[in-house]
Chains A and B, each alone.
Chain A
């Protein structure tokens, strides 16, 4: 295990009779963006709150680089809570400096970083305004800056992209990639599956308090691709193979998606397609993240 992997083992927690987390275990590896996906109430926020120490789980263990999350370790986490958390009546730059100082950055350095982050996120012109006078999207950018002010060694972000416009989303994605490239493990939750699909190296899927899939995004999709193939024949968009052992799942302008039986050789399908015309596309059809999500949460 690498020195700065966040390991979550057997997190279990109940709210009254309702079991919110049931043996949640997964790793967040350094240098990678890990997307945390699940339906509302699946346990994402509870897991994240347990990691940062805001909530104490009934059972389970969280370690960072093999060490338990003591206060000193927790102070190196950049955390963005789901419902956000800034002082509505405090000026933007002031609160970044304050949070920076609470997290151990000295005052002058915190001021420098606050302005640099605000500029980076395109809200530096609002630095001296009181937070609640900013639009929700801009408040969100300030929130992002707040989680980065102390150059954290680990990022735990609950829905960091919600409420951001596409430009801010790109800026945010850029910041996260930058941190990951610097060797920081980044865990973030999101409902925007296409975004997670585009951005993430690793995925963790949670359903009703249980982890249903976790690992490299590409591997997870390939694992679940099964014997599904997409074939496109030039000039014949709705080409259908005359083969036994292949079921057509869908056929549209992008080609035909087939589910092959165990006994069917994919090469035979390719040959049949080539016989029908020039083949412009032939690949295993990896499930999209939404397919994957729908499948595992079924």
Chain B
């Protein structure tokens, strides 16, 4: 006889095959991956690049332009000044210089006043750099007249930035850990909800089409359940790894390696909680499916499971700051997968805390799989009507 693991594998294989042929599933995965990549790549591209400008300068204004270029090109700039590459071209007439499309702005002097000429306006970077250069030059001129040394001038024109001292050392994060926790929480919520509904649907479809009678005549109900949960679990974990991986790859490619390191460190716990949390709820979803007689019944039979996923998710969103409630909920099985990885990421959890929470989730998963299997066995063959939990529990005895 075909072995138990083979049968579970065959059932799981069908679930996976169905998912892989499901256009909606593929489309949602692709969209999700694109959103994640875009969310990481776009800010990195916006903040990461150095702007370049071409500035035309009259002969007398050339020192101002050169000083602006020096400030924009320096690694250490006074606070508030942007980094920018300024290319200076000579011109006699600022207006004529703008006839050249490659020139962004022109600098000239009008009786000692620096004039910036642009077509419809002047880029903020250029304006800020020229303003800073002009005031530095003005200060230099005044200082020269007063006979100050160049060090004194430097101290005057670019005073040292204040040193920042903190009483407690805060960990250095590339992205806010709250955001990372929220992204993980949302991934868990989204995946458990979509795959949970998919499991419930797959169960009720077998019931409604009566395939389940043929299957149950040929293999024990619990193996069928195991195959279903396993198949969908593999797809759910695969989808999450794909999304997280795409995000990390996106961050790596845009040079945000500090984000990558921070996220990889937190992903381990997230995945551990994700896997156990998923399997904890998967059999409950299967029961919600098997209590229904038709697809239309799912709305009502899955209501409580949906709430059991949604309420902890919203609690986790509202409890981003460490608080006693957040601490307690990070141990409650339904909310632990949503909150504990976030607490680890933000450094709020002691080293032993995730282990304890994980053990609680694991124990709950074992208990719920046991209860779920019995309820499933007791209700999946009752194809005629919607079942109540109590009836399913009684009917599932010994199956």
Contact = CB atoms under 8 A, between A and B. Distances in A.
B1 interface: yes
A208 B192 CA distance: 48
Interface stretch (A28-36, A82-90, A281-289): A82-90
B10 A101 contact: yes
B213 A81 contact: yes
B216 interface: yes
A81 B214 contact: yes
B19 to A, nearest CB: 12
Of B18, B210, B214, chain A has the most CB atoms within 10 Å of the CB of: B214
Contacts of B166: none
B392 to A, nearest CB: 15
B219 A102 contact: yes
B389 interface: no
A151 to B, nearest CB: 14
Nearest to A82: B210
A74 interface: yes
A101 B9 CA distance: 10
A244 interface: no
Contacts of B212: 85
Nearest to B382: A55
Given A72-B1, A81-B210, A98-B14, A87 B205 contact: yes
Contacts of B215: 102
Contacts of A98: 10, 14
A75 B214 contact: no
A54 B215 CA distance: 9
Contact of A85 (B2, B14, B209, B399): B209
A87 B206 CA distance: 7
A75 B218 CA distance: 5
A79 B10 contact: no
B218 A103 contact: yes
Interface in B196-227: 205-206, 209-220
Contacts of B10: 98, 101-102
A104 B211 contact: no
A86 B213 CA distance: 10
A90 B21 CA distance: 10
Contacts of A94: 17
A102 B11 contact: yes
A86 B381 contact: no
A266 to B, nearest CB: 51
Interface in A129-146: 146
B36 interface: no
Contacts of B2: 101, 104
B91 to A, nearest CB: 72
Contacts of B218: 74-75, 99, 102-103
A79 B1 contact: no
B1 A87 contact: no
B1 A77 contact: no
Contacts of A121: none
Given A74-B218, A75-B1, A103-B218, A88 B213 contact: no
Most chain A CB inside 10 Å of its own CB: which residue of B2, B18, B213, B219: B213
Contact of A99 (B17, B205, B214, B381): B214
Contacts of B209: 84-88
B383 interface: yes
B217 A74 contact: yes
B315 interface: no
A52 interface: yes
Nearest to B22: A89
A72 B220 CA distance: 11
A97 B112 CA distance: 89
B394 to A, nearest CB: 12
Query: Which of A56, A81, A85 has the largest count of B CB atoms less than 10 A from its CB?
Result: A85
B7 interface: yes
A115 interface: no
Residue with the greatest number of chain A CB neighbours at <10 A, chosen from B7, B210, B211, B399: B211
Contacts of B216: 53-54
A69 to B, nearest CB: 10
A258 to B, nearest CB: 49
Contacts of A74: 217-218
Contacts of A167: none
A89 B295 CA distance: 14
Contacts of B214: 79, 81, 85, 99, 146
Nearest to A98: B14
| Residue among B7, B14, B205, B218 with the highest chain A CB neighbour number at 10 A | B218
Contact of A52 (B17, B210, B217, B399): B217
A113 interface: no
Nearest to B2: A104
Given A55-B381, A87-B205, A87-B209, A79 B14 contact: no
A230 interface: no
Interface in B163-218: 205-206, 209-218
A83 B210 contact: yes
Contacts of A102: 7, 10-11, 215, 218-219
Given A52-B217, A102-B11, 5 more contacts: A54-B213, A85-B209, A86-B209, A101-B2, A146-B214
18 contacts: A52-B213, A53-B217, A54-B217, A72-B1, A75-B219, A81-B210, A83-B210, A85-B211, A85-B213, A87-B209, A87-B211, A88-B205, A88-B209, A90-B18, A98-B10, A98-B14, A99-B214, A104-B2
Q: Which A-B residue pairs are the 10 nearest by beta carbons?
A: A85-B210, A52-B217, A81-B213, A104-B2, A85-B211, A83-B210, A85-B214, A101-B10, A79-B217, A54-B213
